[in-house]
Amino acid sequence: MISRPFKLLLATANFGKVHEMRAVLEALPIELLDLRHLALHLDVREDGLTYAENAAKKALAYAQASGLATLADDSGLEVDALNGEPGIYSARYSNLPNATDADRRAFLLARLEGKPRPWLARFRCVLALALPNQALAFFEGVCEGEIIPTERGQGGFGYDPIFLLPSLNLTMAELSTEQKNALSHRGRALRSLIPYLTRLLSE
C-alpha cells in the first residue's frame, strides 16, 4: 500500500543530492522527506557490482525501516582514459583515509597525468524506487563531458569542478541549479522517474 498523502523518502546522506532531487521533484503533489526528518541512519554496505545493485540495497533497506516509498541513487564518474574508473567507487576513490571531495579530485587528476587529452568522461546515475511492498523500479541518466586539469566554479560537489560540458565550455560547478538539473545525469534520471510517480499517484 502507498501512504496518503504520498510521502517519498530521499535516502541519501549527501544533502547536495537531496537539494537536486527536491528541485526536480518539488512540483509533484508529494511530501518529500529526507533522513534528517526521520533521524534515520542505516549502515548499508554498498558492495554491489553495479550502480543498480547499490541503489537497490539502499532503497530497500530504508523502505523497510521507514515504511515509506523510498528513492535512493548510486552514481559515479566514468573516465575513458582510466578504463571507466572510478565508476561505482567514485565516492571512495582515493589513496587517503577520510578523503574529501578535493582529495578525490586530486587523486583522479594524478591518475590522468601524462595521458593524452581530451579526457572523455561521463557521469552516470541510477535511481532505485522501492515501495513498501518491496516493488522496485529503476531509472537511469547519463551526462557526457570531459575532465579538465584545473578546477573551475564554486557550485556543485564531488567531481563537478573538473567535469567540463564542452558545448557550454562550463564545468558542472559553474552551472546554476536550474542548468545543472536540466543537463546532469541525476536530473535526467529524475525526470525519467516523474511519469512513473505520476502514474502511481493516479492509481
Domains and CATH numbers, the chain: 7-202 (3.90.950.10)
Which of 128, 122, 141 shows the shortest CA–CA distance to 186? 141
Q: Cell numbers of 94, please?
A: 582515493
Judged by DSSP in three states, 110 sits in: helix
Is 74 assigned a catalytic role? yes
Candidates 34, 74, 103, 160; catalytic one: 74
Q: b/e string for 23-60 if b means 16 or more Cβ within 10 A?
A: ebbeeeebebbbbeeeeeeeebeeeeeebbebbbbbbb
Report the C-alpha gap between 77 and 201 in whole angstroms. 33
Give residue 196's pLDDT: 94
Distances (CA, A) of 114 to 81, 109, 140, 188: 11, 10, 32, 33
Which of 55, 56, 15, 20 shows the shortest CA–CA distance to 34?
15
Nearest CA among 142, 183, 190, 179 for reference residue 8: 190
pLDDT, tens digit only, all 203 positions of the chain: 444 578 999 999 888 899 999 999 998 999 999 998 888 889 898 899 999 999 999 999 999 999 999 999 999 999 999 999 999 999 999 999 899 999 999 999 999 999 999 999 999 999 999 998 878 999 999 999 999 999 999 998 999 999 999 999 999 999 998 999 999 999 999 999 999 999 988 87
Longest dimension (CA), the chain: 56
Are 176 and 165 within 8 A, CB to CB?
no
Separation between Cα atoms, residue 100 and residue 103, nearest integer Å: 5
Contact criterion met (CB below 8 Å) for 63 and 131: yes
